[in-house]
Amino acid sequence: MTPIRKLLIANRGEIAVRIMRSARARGVRTVAVWSDADAGALHVRSADEAVRIGPPEAAQSYLNIDAIIAAAKLTGADAIHPGYGFLSERPAFAAACAVAGLVFVGPPASAIAAMGDKAEAKRRMIAVGVPTIPGYQDEDQAEATLLQAASHIGFPVMVKASAGGGGRGQRIVFADGDLPDAIASARREAESAFGDRRLIIEKAVIGARHVEIQIIGDQRGAIVHLGERDCSLQRRRQKVIEEAPSPALSPEKRAAMGKAAVEAARAVGYVNAGTVEFLFDPATEDFFFLEMNTRLQVEHPVTECVTGLDLVDLQLDIAEGRPLPFAQDDIRLDGWAMEARLYAEDPAQGFLPQAGRIGRWRAPQAVRLDAGVEEGDVVTTYYDPMIAKVIAAGRTRDEARRKLAAALQEMAIIGVGNNREFLLALLEDAAFVAGEAATDYIERHLDRLAKRRPPAGAAEAACLAAILVEAPFGGLLSNWSSRGDAGFPLHLERLDGSMLQAAIALDGWRVTARLPPAGDADERLETIFVRQKDNRTLVYEHQGRLCRADFVRHDAEVEVADAFGWARYRDVTRAPAAENMTGADVVNAPMAGIVTSIAVAPGDVVEKGRVLATIEAMKMEHALKAPRAGIVASIGAKIGQQVPIRALIVALQTV
């Protein structure tokens, strides 16, 4: 056994910081790598040493094997941990580490190759008797062959990247007429994310649960499983909330799935930590092999909570040649754990990726937080939009759920749009509370779950007025405002373009807002009593309750996070009119990203809803559709171009 003395983490964000935590506890020094977009990132600041590996584009930095191996040699690292994503499931990377004399903290290249190719993995599982979903996984990739296979399997079908994972390169198709576009889109995304255009077609199991088994094996052939995680709450095959154990599994079914997972790992000579993913049909209690992730999973903390194990520490033990310190019968699951993924995205706008500088970050207490950012850090569109994971544990499922919801209520993140309100809506949803939500649940109830924060009421208008006054609290409120006296009109534009108008009156510590009548309703009047204000937080009393609002001001804009969620407003009494970059005549970029396709040319006649172009941001592809019928007047971008948010992509004119 050779101890690891210096570990390079070939990753970024929260997983890099989390790996450093376990390495530091062992007395192992750590090396971070960074792209130009991450020069001041938390994982860089957290490491003992850090090395630049390239420009922001992942293909030239975090996916650059030569640059990462060179960084390890430069710093004298003797081992590399790949984290998840990026190079973690590239057999060429594991092989390159071996050639360079570096310990790869993960499985051998042969196991990564066998399970990384979804078609090959499925063939191997069939050979050893692990249940699989009916489908097509052969080498003939002609579109006609895939269309014929889907017709034979029967709709709905799932189109999946053969070399993929993490939900990328996957599409569910309900009708044969939609299949050609789904194949083309999945191929583009698969090639972008994995450098491999091959696809497989499988029967879509509707109403199933996504249940995965954590396995771990040492270099001496011992393999055990550490129970299951339920990852059924997903959007576009991306996991949102995970838990351990699963509310849908009996002890007998857990044992059967665990045995199948261990057999799957043995079939490829697996070593180190990995996860075997299954679809579980609650109606029949049948389960089917999906894929094996030959790496640490994003959701590994919930397994750590219920087993009491540190999976990264175990990974390092195994990489050093140590045997597993326990047998299968020693594993016990104690209590319940839940994890929520905090993403930089806007659920109310189709989960569009968001970017910006975090002006306010308040971490929750009494739970585990695996974060890749701190206050003042910048979230970019170059990488995956997940910025943190909030993990809560309890004696029961409901206790863990309530603790997780309380933690999300407590935390504040301002400066970048995020899905905190969406996560809270999920945690309070009746089906999830009952443990009944399946993999298609979010998509079926998306309009309700992703509803934008309701318009501000009079009390919130008073709160916003207290935030927007020019000077901090102290003395008489009439001395705050540059508007002249103790009353002024409030005119704020919401993120959706609607207006909030109120008459504000200031009297000592009292702030009163009067909203105009809405329809037949009387005008609304509310008063708050300010208790404390600094440049980031307002504490006020309303109807006998103490409330807190965290905020950040950017010139004429103010962002507010409170118990009800996050909102952004623009003070139109002080701000210049914004240029109108939207409307039926133009198609703008809904977020910053890279243009991956242009499907039209000037002069083309298009119908409403036709896909005009696609943009990729944070590893997801987004289709831009014609807002009305018309003629393409001009194209404002090129394929491969990095464009900012609201950039003109296509201009239309009337037919």
**Domain covering 6-105, topology:** Rossmann fold (3.40.50)
- Class for domain 209-449, per CATH? alpha beta
Beta strand pairing status for 630-635 and 648-653? Answer: antiparallel
Q: What is the DSSP letter of 478?
A: G
- Other CB atoms within 10 Å distance of the CB of residue 634: 11
- Class for domain 458-571, per CATH? mainly beta
Q: Which of 295, 397, 514, 570 is catalytic?
A: 295
Give CA–CA dist 164/231, Å, rounded: 18
pLDDT of residue 474: 40
599-610, pLDDT tens digit by residue? 999 989 999 989
Beta strand pairing status for 565-571 and 487-494? Answer: antiparallel
Based on the residue annotation, tell me whether 548 is a catalytic residue of this protein: no
- The low-confidence residues of the chain, meaning pLDDT below 70, are 164-166, 470-486, 496, 519-522, 563-564, 573-584, 618-620, 645-646
Give CA–CA dist 523/479, Å, rounded: 27
Which residue matches tokens 């078609």? Answer: 119
pLDDT of residue 195: 81
Angle, CA 326 vertex, CA 87 and CA 304 arms, to 5°: 50
Enter the pTM of the model: 0.81
**Beta carbons of 611 and 599 less than 8 angstroms apart:** yes
> What is the residue extent of each domain of the chain?
6-105, 134-203, 209-449, 458-571, 586-653
pLDDT of residue 481: 41
Beta-bridged to residue 631, according to DSSP, are: 605, 653
Homologous superfamily (CATH) of 134-203 is: ATP-grasp fold, A domain (3.30.1490.20)
Rounded to a whole number of angstroms, the CA Rg of the chain reads: 26
H-run or E-run covering 218: none
Beta strand pairing status for 510-515 and 593-598? Answer: unpaired
DSSP string, 484-537: SSSEEEEEEEETTS-EEEEEEEEETTEEEEEEPP-TTSPPEEEEEEEEEE-SSE
Q: What is the DSSP letter of 132?
A: B
pLDDT of residue 27: 97
**Beta carbons of 587 and 626 less than 8 angstroms apart:** yes
pLDDT of residue 653: 87
DSSP string, 551-590: EEEETTEEEEEETTEEEEEEETTTSPPPP---STTEEE-S
C-alpha dihedral (17, 303, 163, 53), degrees to nearest 10: 10
- Which numeric CATH code is attached to 586-653? 2.40.50.100
pLDDT of residue 519: 62
pLDDT of residue 538: 93
Cβ neighbours of residue 4 closer than 8 Å, sequence gap 6 or more: 26, 28, 78, 79, 103, 316, 319, 320
pLDDT of residue 378: 92
pLDDT of residue 482: 39
Beta-bridged to residue 390, according to DSSP, are: 340, 369
pLDDT of residue 646: 67
Cβ neighbours of residue 9 closer than 8 Å, sequence gap 6 or more: 16, 19, 20, 30, 31, 32, 33, 43, 47, 80, 81, 83
